[in-house]
Amino acid sequence: MNPWLDRFAAGLDLPDGLTRDEAALVLDLAGATARGAGARQFAPLAAYLAGRASATSPAPDREALLRRATQLTTDLGAADQPLDLD
């Protein structure tokens, strides 16, 4: 997909790395989360949670889960409370 991301994935023992479609879906998820939750801090955390949820799924299922996660950010609307991680 991208040499840097391929090396990063290999360093995490993920030899299959990230497909172009998965990368696009993760970026869509991050953008939708930042807009939907109303704060960009939620974007990497939502992406991490989606990654955990899809970690053992085959590629087509991972893509479906990422699409569902993106829709969920819209369905949930704005976050009621800040992260409070200062």
pLDDT in tens, 24-57: 999 999 999 999 999 999 999 999 999 999 988 8
Is residue 84 included in any domain, yes or no? no
Is residue 29 included in any domain, yes or no? yes
The residue-averaged pLDDT of 61-72 equals 95
* Full residue range of the structural domain in which residue 57 is found: 19-76
Count of domains forming the chain? 1
Is residue 10 included in any domain, yes or no? no
Backbone angles phi, psi at 44, to 5 degrees: -65, -30
Is residue 72 included in any domain, yes or no? yes
pLDDT of residue 60 exceeding 90? no
Is residue 55 included in any domain, yes or no? yes
Q: What is the pLDDT of residue 11?
A: 95
Is residue 81 included in any domain, yes or no? no
